[in-house]
Structures are given as structure tokens and as C-alpha cells.
Structure 1
Amino acid sequence: MTRRAFLLSGLTPLLASPGITVHAQDLPSRPVRLVVPYAPGGTTDILARVLAEHFQAEFGQPLVVDLRPGAGGTVGTAQVAQAVPDGTTLVMGTPGTHATAKALYPNLPYDPIRDFAPVTLVANVPNIVVVNPNLPVRSIAELIAAARARPGSINYGSAGNGATTHLSGELFRLMTGAQIIHIPYRGSGAALIDLQAGQIQLMFENLPGAIQHVRDGRLRALAVTSPTRAKATPDLPTVAEAGVPGYGVVSWFALFAPAATPEPVLVRLNQGFRRIMAIPSVRQRMEDLGAEPADGPPEQLARLVADENTRWTRVIQDAQIRIQ
């Protein structure tokens, strides 16, 4: 059994025991910094700020959202891996920071499993396939046909190399033979601006980041990437339903602390964040944004990270993605 697995196995009964007492010294004694390793305006930033609104009432300290974008989310994530492990520095992790980075970056300055202590899952988020309204396609079938008819003529933007907004497109390309060209951005906000301006034609964007643009008519939605339809867009088919059987991608967002964070602190953080996410207004806010609230014990998040590393490493190798 690895050291991390041993620690998590010991944490499980603590988290499952409703009568556990967490002492005052186990609580953060100063403001807590939540690093968002992406540019402002994206889904990671939005969800972090939803949590921050209720953090002080639960913990007695403010939660400061600290934007640290760069290198597909790995710059800010590396800073948290090296932070003092006392519970006052956390990161909002994603598949891009904790499931794909190790396979993408040969000199990654952290190990996504060894260097972090899972706290809790926050939300699962489908990606939504959106196009500029001037692109004459109204379905996934028409998108595939257009991309095959004119290989290389359709560019898709993403939040950066390794993000699910990137790998959703690569998986789509592999499974359909549609020769779409990836254009990485430093965050989804800039990519969405260029999509609406027609500089790029397509995105596989996180649903919360794109849904208002779709509702306002600035973008056209074709499908969602999740295996089942999204609650926020029940009339929109999945990519699998729309003609690509077996296709399925869900982005997830989760909280991590530095690896050596004391166990009682992890217990307190897990319990507190799960109470925040159980607040009806928090859940409703996330659902309105197109996110599906989630939580759970640390070992559940640890299993998710391990499984996602296996899955996306295979896709990255098959797509021959290389980042120097």
C-alpha cells in the first residue's frame, strides 16, 4: 500500500463518523488562499467564487481566490504543491492539472498524485460543443461532414493544452476522422471572445462558461460531451446520441491541499466544504451555471484522479500530442 493510500484509508472512518470532534487548532487561523490556475472568467474561477461566498460563515476566515494562470494550469498548481502544508493554501484542480499534465509535460514540476492530498470533489461539468453562428452547421453530423470536406478549415479553441476543452476535441478528431485544428488559449475567456468574433469556429467549452452565450444567441450549441444529457440543456443531445457512439467526456473540479497537510486539517476542510456545497442556494447556483454539484470523501477523489490519469494518458499517446 502506498503512503497516500494508507493515509486515505485512515481518513475514511473519520469522515464517515458523524460524531467526530474537530478541535479549534485544526481550523485555518488566517485567510485561506484558493489558487485558481487558469485565467479569470472560466468555469474554475466561477466555481471558486461560489464557494468563497460561504467560506467565512463556515470556517471563520475569508477564502481568497488567487488567479495564477499559465502552462495549462500547471504554474499555479505547482505553487500549491510547494506551499506550506497547513490548510491555508489550496488549489481548484481539474483534469488538466491532475489527470493529463503528467503525460503532456515531460518536465512537470509536480506529481499530481504524490504531491497532493485530495480534499473533495466540487462539481462535474459537461462540455458543450458550440460554434460561431456563421458556420453553416447545425448538428454534429453536419460538423463532421464539413470538417471532412475541407480538412483543416475548422479551428477549435481551448482553455489551453491538456484541458478537457482541448482533449475533448482531440478525442472527437480521433473518433470521427474530422481534421479540426487546435488553437490553445490562456483560458477560455479569450477563446470565447475569438469564437464569437469568428476568429475560430468551434469550441468544446465547459458548459458554465458558454451557456449564457448560447442563451443570448451569440453561439450555436450542437451537443454536450457527457454520456447523458445535461440538466441545464435537456433538449440538447449528447455527442454519442448525435452520431459518435461511445464518445463521452466530463470535466470535474476538485479541491486539493499540499501532500503533507495534517490529517485533522483535511478532515475539517472536507467536512466544511461539503457542508457549503449542501447549501440549497449553492447547489442551485451551480446547477443554473450548468454544473452538477458533487462532493465525497478524499479516497473517492483519489480513485478518480488515478482512473483519469490512465484514460487520458492513452488518448494523449494515441493523438500524439507533444508539449515542450
Structure 2
Amino acid sequence: MMKRMLRYLQVLACFQFIAVALAVPIAALAQAWPAKPVKYIMPFPPGGGSDISARIVAEAMSRSLGRPFLVENQAGANGNIGTQAAIRAAPDGYTLLYTPQTPITIAESYDPPPPFVAQRDLIPLVMTAVTPELVVVHPSIKAGSLKELAAMTRANPGKYFFGSPGEGHEFHLTAAVILLASGAQMTHVPYKGMGPVVQGIVGEQIHLAVSSVAGVKQFIGQGRLRPLAAVGMTRLEGYPNVPSLADNGLKEVTVYGWFGVFAPAGMPRELVDRIAGAHINLRNDAAYMQKLRELDFDPTPLGPAEFAREIEAHRAQWKTVIKATRK
């Protein structure tokens, strides 16, 4: 009996030693991060609001931690290609995903589903910003409200088109639910990113789109696009003369966009906390906060737990929107 007890204690001590030995490298890995350049995979093309915000975050993180933070665009399949690439990366903190919510909260509701399960394969690290959105049109569209747009499009069926970065992208669904609620009739044209969508409106191949403010601000300033409505219940500070959806009588449409950073599943908790904390600390960087606000992003640093709750709320909301637009 005594020999068994001694053997048990020896085995237990061995396991405890292994646990401590493993914990030391993990803690050291988290403490040393970043020891080399860090890459954000951006699963959409350059030029859109998500790409712009990713580069602002990368610049601020480089300045804060003294290591290069780089943005690599891996676009395609409405964000699924780049997302899958990030999921396949080692969970060591040197390849992260920076994305809007499309591949996280929306893609799973479409057929065929993506080759990953976001809840299982990714760890939410931090929400970086909420992105105000605008409904923009080509200046040749004379409608002054969504109601006037609806009347114009119904009088000319098949003549008017709206664009998005792809079927199932949040901008596609936001535009679709706004058009549905307002009674406008427009045909959807999917593009491969927000940059091409904007060029499509400027070139009059299409007539309307929903975009982050950052993605269209320059073109509005040049008079090449015109904001028709602010997506939300209130007007935007930078566009006080542009009616909100509530002003247009669409109080039931409450969708909004966000950007966030994710890690591949399997990342140690210590490293998750280290990376999330480093991003959240950017709220103390005045230049970073000012740059985001100048582009009409709303800095909204949420850590892993809060961000995860926000994701689940949006996942349920988008399922409702998708169901409504498929009727």
C-alpha cells in the first residue's frame, strides 16, 4: 500500500513538473511578443474602409511596440479565402486576422457554407472600431430621399442597380434591407471589393451602394458621389445635412458595421490577453484616435469577452436580415 502511495506521489510530482515546465515557455512567449514582425491578413482588397482601418491600426501598433505590423491583402470569396489562411496559421501571435464581420457573422448563413466555423476556428481578440455607413449614389440620381428613390425605381423597373463587395457581404445585406424597407427596386451587382464598387458608381455602371464613410469620403468631397442617407438612427457628425434612416422613416433598420482582430484557435490564454491588451492600449495614443475619427471611424476597443458577446448578437441579427431579404 505504501509503495503504491509513493508511486502515486512520484507520478503526480512528475505531472506537476511537466505542467510548470510547459507553463514557463508559454508565459515567456506571451511576455516576449512581439519578437518579430506581425502580419494582419486583410481578407478584402485595398481601398475599402476595412483595409484603411487595418493600416491605421498597424501603424499605431508598430509605433507602440517597436516592431513592424504589416497588412497583407488576401481577398476572394467574400472574405473567406483570407479568413481561412489566418485560421491555418500557427497560433503564435505573428499572423492575425483583421476583418469586418462578413466572414465572421454572415458567411455561415449562405450556401455553400465557408470551409471553417468561425466560433470554433477563431478567437476574438479585440474590436477596434465601429464604422458609420452611408447610402451613396451617383450625382445623376436626383432623388433627395429614399422615398423619392423608391418612386423613381418603381417607375423604371430593371433600370437601376446597386453594388456591393459580394453576395452576402454586410454592405450587400444592409443595402438590400434598406431598399426592401423603403420599397425601392434595384438589381444587385456583386463586385470583388469595395474599391471596385465605388469605381462602378463613379463610372455609372451602377447607381447606389452602402459603404463605410472612409471608403467614400474622398469621392463625396470631389463631388463624384452623393450621400443619400446615413445608416442608423441619428445623423453623422461629419454629414449633418444627410438624413438618417430614421429621418427616412426606416426606424426598424438598425444594422451597423465593425472591424476586429482575431487569432487562430489554439492560442494560449496568456498570449491572447497580451495581444488584446496591446490593442486596447491604443486608446491612449492620441494620434491614432484622432486619425480614426478624422475618417469617421468610431474607436470602440472591446476585449475578448465583450467582443465575443457582440459577435453573437450580430450573428443573430444578420440571420434575421438574411431571412427578410430572401422573402
Q: Same fold by TM (over 0.5)?
A: yes
| RMSD of Structure 2 on Structure 1 (CA) | 1.7
Q: Which amino acid aligns with 1:39?
A: P
Q: From 19, 22, 29, give the equivalent of 1:25.
A: 29
Using a 3 Å threshold, how does the CA distance of structure 1 residues 292 and 112 change in structure 2: closer, same or farther?
same
Give secondary structure in 2 for the equivalent of 1:114. Answer: helix
TM-score (norm 1): 0.88
Q: Which amino acid aligns with 2:252?
A: G
Contact 2:146 2:182 in 1 (8 A): no
Residue correspondence of structure 1 range 266-285 to structure 2 within 5 A: 266-285=272-291
- 1:183 paired with 2:183, answer no
Q: From 303, 307, 311, give the equivalent of 2:309.
A: 303
Using a 3 Å threshold, how does the CA distance of structure 1 residues 194 and 82 change in structure 2: closer, same or farther?
same
Q: From 47, 66, 69, give the equivalent of 2:72.
A: 66
Tell me what 2:208 maps to. 202
Give secondary structure in 1 for the equivalent of 2:301. Answer: coil
Q: How much has 1:291 moved relative to structure 2?
A: 0.8
Q: Which amino acid aligns with 2:304?
A: P
Contact 2:127 2:301 in 1 (8 A): yes
Contact 2:129 2:297 in 1 (8 A): yes
Take 1:54 and 1:93, find their aligned partners in 2: how far apart are those partners?
A: 17
User: CA deviation digits over 1:151-172, x for unaligned, max 9?
Assistant: 3321011122222210111111
Take 1:233 and 1:275, find their aligned partners in 2: how far apart are those partners?
A: 29
Q: How much has 1:209 moved relative to structure 2?
A: 0.3
- 1:109 paired with 2:115, answer yes
Q: How much has 1:131 moved relative to structure 2?
A: 0.6
Tell me what 2:158 maps to. 152
User: CA deviation digits over 1:43-83, x for unaligned, max 9?
Assistant: 11101111111222333321110100001111100111121
Report runs of 4+ in structure 1 exceeding 4 Å deviation: none
Using a 3 Å threshold, how does the CA distance of structure 1 residues 106 and 234 change in structure 2: closer, same or farther?
same
- 1:100 paired with 2:106, answer yes
Q: From 80, 88, 100, give the equivalent of 2:94.
A: 88
- 1:163 paired with 2:164, answer no
Q: Name structure 2 gaps, 5 residues minimum.
A: 1-25
Tell me what 2:248 maps to. 242
Contact 1:132 1:218 in 2 (8 A): yes
Q: How much has 1:227 moved relative to structure 2?
A: 2.5
Tell me what 2:60 maps to. 54
Contact 1:36 1:66 in 2 (8 A): yes
TM-score (norm 2): 0.87
Contact 1:226 1:250 in 2 (8 A): yes
Contact 1:227 1:249 in 2 (8 A): no
Q: Which amino acid aligns with 1:234?
A: P
- 1:219 paired with 2:220, answer no
Q: Which amino acid aligns with 2:148?
A: E
User: CA deviation digits over 1:284-309, x for unaligned, max 9?
Assistant: 11111111111022111111111111
Contact 1:126 1:250 in 2 (8 A): yes
Q: Which amino acid aligns with 1:160?
A: G
Q: From 80, 83, 86, give the equivalent of 1:77.
A: 83
Identity %: 33
Q: Which amino acid aligns with 1:212?
A: Q
User: CA deviation digits over 1:164-199, x for unaligned, max 9?
Assistant: 210111111332232211111111111111101111
Take 1:218 and 1:108, find their aligned partners in 2: how far apart are those partners?
A: 36
Name which one, 1 or 2, has greater alpha-carbon Rg. Answer: 2
Take 2:75 and 2:165, find their aligned partners in 1: how far apart are those partners?
A: 10
Q: Which amino acid aligns with 1:25?
A: L
Take 1:105 and 1:34, find their aligned partners in 2: how far apart are those partners?
A: 27
Take 1:277 and 1:74, find their aligned partners in 2: how far apart are those partners?
A: 29
Give secondary structure in 1 for the equivalent of 2:162. Answer: strand
Contact 1:126 1:249 in 2 (8 A): no
Give secondary structure in 1 for the equivalent of 2:258. Answer: strand
Q: Name structure 1 gaps, 5 residues minimum.
A: 1-21
Tell me what 2:267 maps to. 261
Contact 1:32 1:87 in 2 (8 A): yes
Q: How much has 1:139 moved relative to structure 2?
A: 1.9
Give secondary structure in 1 for the equivalent of 2:229. Answer: strand
Q: Which amino acid aligns with 2:275?
A: L
Deviates more, 1:177-186 or 1:275-284: 275-284
Give secondary structure in 2 for the equivalent of 1:100. Answer: helix
Q: From 170, 174, 179, give the equivalent of 1:173.
A: 179
Q: From 122, 125, 133, give the equivalent of 1:127.
A: 133
Q: Which amino acid aligns with 2:216?
A: A
User: CA deviation digits over 1:198-222, x for unaligned, max 9?
Assistant: 1111111111101121122111111
Give secondary structure in 1 for the equivalent of 2:29. Answer: helix
Take 1:126 and 1:94, find their aligned partners in 2: how far apart are those partners?
A: 13
Give secondary structure in 2 for the equivalent of 1:257. Answer: strand
